């Protein structure tokens, strides 16, 4: 029994590593748009902010659609283990071959395909945790998996910056593609093991049974409690992540005047703060009453909004960077509460599809944030580059107002549900 309990944690560690390397893949473009050789290769100019932002948006569109559409098929037909292996193989190949895309349109298409290949990842991780951990103990495994987000960003900025500075931008794609295949796949083969019946449903014996099973999973997922409320919250929550992470390197370099070397490590510091905060958030979830978990969204969103507001009003550039570190810490506190809430509300056989809806729809909406910020930055930059970046980052405060409102509604409903049996 002890060996089984220890083995399930090795699976969580594997998922943590896979999430981390996937996030390095996702944000390498945000570093490369500061490199003139890369921009020249795909036919962009340094001041074309909207089309630069669309590169991140293209990934998120593919990611969101894939999370919505492919997740139930992965759960019903292939299972967690085989789906992870197939995804790692596909996104490794796409990343490795990206330098051959010699136009903006082709690179845009490759980012969409990369998003499609990574779409089911968090839903599959949620299925693994649901299968191996009870609701009262899922805070720590969820926090560990979500720590991969911050670690991937923290390692990714300086790592990609080093590859570009020491070699060239093509090398960054080649190295990341090899890491996906040579590190990720062996870890999955060694440590990801699911129970014999991992979805609560019998294994389909024909294509007709598989399609019928997918339909059953999707219909069941749609009846998950608070599904759409959590989806709206997730969209606003992820909008901060994708807006800030995509434009942070350019903000530090072009608006605050940091060098490329300084930009690399300063951009990584907020992500390390997220890693620490995700761990704290997971520990907190396991120690408070279930109905109080939505308060994490309430206080976390207020902290993020206040920190970003201070960052854009600070005259000292280092003080502004420290405020962004504080913003990411508050954001990281909320991260494990989303999958924990979905796992608490969904049935075991519906968890992958339910989280696919939450993560997929949320990612689709959030994916437009880099392009929106790029348009705002480009429009306001006519006055000064600094004013443009300040206006773009101010848009992030609005996302936290939505998180705050959804958190309050979710908290009120959970309190009402907990009080109903006592009143009865």
pLDDT at 204 > cutoff 70:
no
pLDDT confidence band for 260 (50 / 70 / 90)? low
Looking at the domain assignment, is residue 200 inside a domain? no
pLDDT at 124 > cutoff 50:
yes
Looking at the domain assignment, is residue 150 inside a domain? yes
Q: With the CA atoms of 144, 415, 222 and 344 taken in that order, what torsion angle do they form, in degrees rounded to the nearest 10?
A: 30
Looking at the domain assignment, is residue 424 inside a domain? no
**Angle (nearest 5°) at CA 221 between 275 and 69:** 75
Looking at the domain assignment, is residue 369 inside a domain? yes
**Angle (nearest 5°) at CA 262 between 161 and 266:** 90
User: What is the number of structural domains in the chain?
Assistant: 1
Burial of 369-384, coded b for 16+ CB within 10 Å and e otherwise, reads: bbbbbbbbbbebbeee
Q: 15-29, 151-165, 318-332 — which is least confidently predicted?
A: 151-165
pLDDT in the model for residue 313:
84
pTM across the whole model: 0.71
**Averaged over 402-420, what is the pLDDT?**
83
Name the average pLDDT for the chain: 81
**Averaged over 396-416, what is the pLDDT?**
89
Say if CB 72 and CB 78 are below 8 A apart. Answer: no
Looking at the domain assignment, is residue 201 inside a domain? no
pLDDT confidence band for 40 (50 / 70 / 90)? confident
pLDDT in the model for residue 30:
78
Looking at the domain assignment, is residue 296 inside a domain? yes
pLDDT at 421 > cutoff 50:
yes
211 CB-near residues (< 8 Å, 6+ apart): none
**Averaged over 227-248, what is the pLDDT?**
86
Looking at the domain assignment, is residue 198 inside a domain? no
Helices (H), ranges, 201-314: 207-221, 227-250, 260-285, 295-313
pLDDT at 136 > cutoff 90:
no
Domain holding 172, by residue range, is: 2-192+207-419
Identify which has the larger pLDDT, 352 or 70.
70
Give residue-wise pLDDT tens across range 286-321: 788 878 888 999 999 999 999 999 988 888 888 888
pLDDT confidence band for 1 (50 / 70 / 90)? very low
What CATH number did the domain enclosing 35 receive?
1.20.1250.20
pLDDT > 70 fraction of the chain, expressed in percent and rounded:
83
Looking at the domain assignment, is residue 320 inside a domain? yes
Written as six digits, the tokens of 139 are 């805070």
pLDDT confidence band for 26 (50 / 70 / 90)? confident
């Amino acid at each position: 029994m002890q060996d089984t309990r220890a083995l399930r944690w090795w699976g969580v560690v594997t998922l943590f590593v896979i999430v981390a390397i996937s996030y390095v893949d996702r944000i390498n473009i945000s570093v490369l748009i500061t490199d003139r050789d890369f921009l020249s290769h795909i036919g962009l100019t340094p001041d074309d902010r909207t089309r630069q932002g669309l590169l991140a948006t293209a990934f998120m569109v593919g990611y969101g659609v894939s999370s919505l559409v492919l997740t139930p098929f992965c759960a019903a037909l292939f299972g967690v283990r085989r789906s992870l292996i197939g995804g790692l193989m596909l996104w490794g190949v796409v990343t490795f071959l990206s330098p051959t895309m010699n136009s903006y349109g082709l690179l845009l298409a490759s980012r969409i395909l990369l998003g499609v290949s990574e779409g089911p990842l968090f839903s599959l991780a949620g299925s693994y945790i649901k299968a191996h951990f009870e609701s009262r103990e899922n805070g720590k495994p969820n926090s560990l998996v979500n720590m991969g987000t911050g670690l991937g960003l923290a390692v990714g900025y300086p790592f990609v910056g080093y590859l570009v500075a020491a070699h060239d931008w093509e090398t960054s794609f080649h190295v990341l593609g090899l890491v996906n295949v040579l590190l990720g796949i062996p870890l999955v083969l060694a440590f990801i093991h699911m129970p014999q019946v991992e979805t609560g449903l019998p294994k389909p014996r024909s294509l007709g049974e598989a399609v019928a099973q997918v339909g059953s999973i999707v219909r069941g997922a749609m009846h998950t409690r608070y599904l759409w409320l959590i989806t709206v919250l997730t969209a606003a929550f992820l909008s901060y992540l994708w807006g800030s992470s995509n434009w942070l390197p350019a903000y530090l370099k072009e608006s605050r005047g940091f060098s490329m070397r300084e930009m690399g490590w300063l951009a990584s510091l907020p992500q390390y703060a997220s890693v620490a905060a995700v761990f704290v958030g997971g520990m907190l979830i396991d120690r408070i009453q279930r109905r109080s978990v939505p308060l994490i969204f309430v206080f976390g969103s207020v902290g993020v909004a206040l920190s970003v507001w201070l960052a854009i009003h600070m005259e000292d550039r280092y003080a502004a960077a420290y405020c962004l570190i504080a913003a990411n810490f508050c954001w990281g506190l909320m991260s494990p509460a989303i999958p924990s809430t979905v796992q608490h509300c969904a049935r075991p056989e519906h968890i992958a599809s339910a989280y696919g809806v939450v993560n997929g729809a949320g990612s689709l909406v959030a994916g437009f944030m880099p392009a929106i910020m790029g348009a705002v930055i480009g429009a306001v930059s006519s006055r000064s580059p600094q004013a443009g970046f300040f206006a773009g980052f101010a848009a992030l405060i609005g996302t936290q107002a939505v998180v705050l409102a959804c958190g309050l509604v979710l908290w009120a409903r959970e309190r009402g549900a907990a009080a109903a049996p006592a009143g009865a």
